Structure 1
Amino acid sequence: MNETISHDRRFPPALAAVAQVEFDYDDGEGVDFEPYRAFDSAEETTDWLCLWTGNRELGGDAYRIFGQDGAGGLAALWCVRPGQPLDAQPVVFMGSEGEVGIVAGNLSDFVWVLADGFGPREAALDWEREPRPDAALADLAQRHATTARRPAREIVTEAQAEFATYSDDVDALCR
């Protein structure tokens, strides 16, 4: 793993902006996402990953946890692109019941997913959900995104194709 990435815990500007947003759950019809104002510490991430997988030999360097859903599932940047900054890393979801999924190929695409009305859990796992565009989040995305606006389903499908083995890779870590 790239040393710059493995130790970088500075919140990218787009995540700092997302952290200021209050997401409306709307009795299950809205977005179930609670963004953090900073990444979990390396120690917290390692402890959580070891408990979640049952594998005490893991380290948490590959993840930067930046939010959760109401059930305790976590949204994170997955640091798998060596030499690339945090905002170029894919966004993943790891659910409280063992669900996993790719949300977006990078942080820029993630803010477009949010603008389309999908939180991390909904984007990774709920394909039946209809988009619910949010004008304030679209404005946030326009200020921070470096990628063009696209529908959330297109972003998620593209990222899931790029990281098609993610679920299997995570399963292989579990004991």
Structure 2
Amino acid sequence: MARTILGDPDRYVEKYWEKYKEQKWYLAGDSARQDEDGYYWIIGRIDDVIKVSGYRLGSAEIESALVSHPAVTEAAAIALPDELRGNIIHTTVVLRQGMEAGDKLAEELKAHVEHEIGPIARPAFVEFTDALPKTRSGKIMRRVLKARALGQDTGDLSTLEE
């Protein structure tokens, strides 16, 4: 746990401790769920959301639904702007060895996410790739995926794993 924010100790108290001071809890910024055995599973950051038609969906939830499909080994979900819904869900997946990418599998993956989470979480796009852009620590670089999907410059890639 951090002890302060450099140069702004008041902001540290306000950001992490003030909201739950009665319970003596702090806000870590991660979302989690508790399973039937009482174990906690860290799902992702609470600020890493995709807002579609007013619904806030965690990108980690969408990615988890995709990875639960037997054809998928890794997944990333990003928001792309949409005039009607505010954002749409664009997913990028890495398939397990021996699986073949195609329109049929893309539709199957969309339906799988819809079944696991609900119709609002159905991705608009499923893109297949051999590897996701990651930092050396393994964090998926969603900004790179978003820039590629929008046809924009990807910017500085010096922190990429490869």
TM over 0.5, shorter chain: no
Which one scores higher on RCO, CA 8 angstroms, separation ≥ 6? Answer: 1
More strand by share: 2
- Between Structure 1 and Structure 2, the one with more helix by share is 1
Structure 2 length-normalised TM = 0.30
